[in-house]
Amino acid sequence: MTLSRSLHLILVLLLAIAVAGCSTSGGRKKGGYYKDDGPDANPPSNLDQIPDAVPKLEPYASGANRPYVVFGQRYVPDTSGQPYKKQGIASWYGKKFHGNSTSIGESYDMYAMTAAHTTLPIPSYARVTSMVNGKTIVVRVNDRGPFHSDRIMDLSYVAAYKLGIIGPGSGQVVVEAIRPEEIRRLASQGAPAAPTPEPSSATGSSPILPPASAEPVALAAETPLAPAPAAAPARSAAGLSGGSIYLQVGAFSQPANAQSLVSRINAQLGAAGAPPATVEQTNNLYRVRIGPYPDRQSALDAVPLVSDRIGILPSIASQ
């Protein structure tokens, strides 16, 4: 064998090793998630019951909506409210990022209905529809990414689960921004923006201040509120009594977050004569509800007061 042929074979071998290294240690592993990432060892048993995010008007996070550069690519977030509807590949991120800070400053919760997008304003809301099975979910966009030319959105673990792409790791979807005027219209009609029958706010997300604020909002867990005397203890659905119509203002994976919101609501609405807020526990989900109201119309009439006082747009829920 000549020296040149030997060098050629060595170069071919080195190239093969390099390619093999990129396909195993870089990029994605089995299931389509990132290296060293993946699902939790013991995910909650109630993933199917975690509700979609419920769109509400929130102030944009000033810092997270400025132009930025990643990997030499410049991105310009669009806060103009223009329509956005695009098809592309969605992937997901899980335990490797769970608990880390998102671009908006909130803690990433892989069991909350959230997502990352490169240019949609944050926070904002979007419908994501699978081109494979037709399933549709609503997510709250609170992070930046994915920074890959072949992907349009990174979903949280539970969002990917509900859309049916946990196994394959990615899938073709259509992402459509839910615009502010649609949120206002749905709020005035008392109708949900999500396809679920009983929507609530994203699990684990924080209460949102009224739109007059221009600063990003921190998680309730990061800024716990002092308990108010009117705060009610958590109880199961079977323990609720009285009427059957409620205003739901949040759903949390952590009971402390739910109780903090109850304390705040009761402190702000108590003087207005509104029914008390309570926590209803369903498996590992803690729903914050105001009521009961004698009928649906009474609950609808109370929506403007609740929204104005606490800065959260509630949804109608029955016992």
240 and 135 both lie in a single domain: no
Confidence of residue 38 (pLDDT cuts 50, 70, 90): low
pLDDT of residue 190: 59
pLDDT of residue 278: 93
Note the pLDDT tens digit of each residue in 115-135.
999 999 999 999 999 998 899
Asked if pLDDT for residue 77 goes beyond 90, the answer is: yes
Higher pLDDT: 183 or 76? It is 76
Instruction: Answer whether residue 199 is part of any domain.
Output: no
Task: Give Cα separations from 28 to 32, 129, 147, 151, 165 (angstroms).
Answer: 5, 23, 14, 13, 14
Instruction: Answer whether residue 217 is part of any domain.
Output: no
Higher pLDDT: 195 or 51? It is 51
Q: Is the pTM of this model over 0.85?
A: no
Higher pLDDT: 36 or 260? It is 260
94 and 147 both lie in a single domain: yes
Distance CA 154, CA 132 (A): 17
Instruction: Answer whether residue 248 is part of any domain.
Output: yes
Higher pLDDT: 170 or 308? It is 170
What average pLDDT does the segment 215-225 reach? 29
Task: Give Cα separations from 289 to 86, 91, 233, 299 (angstroms).
Answer: 35, 33, 12, 11
Q: Which residues form the domain of 229? A: 224-318
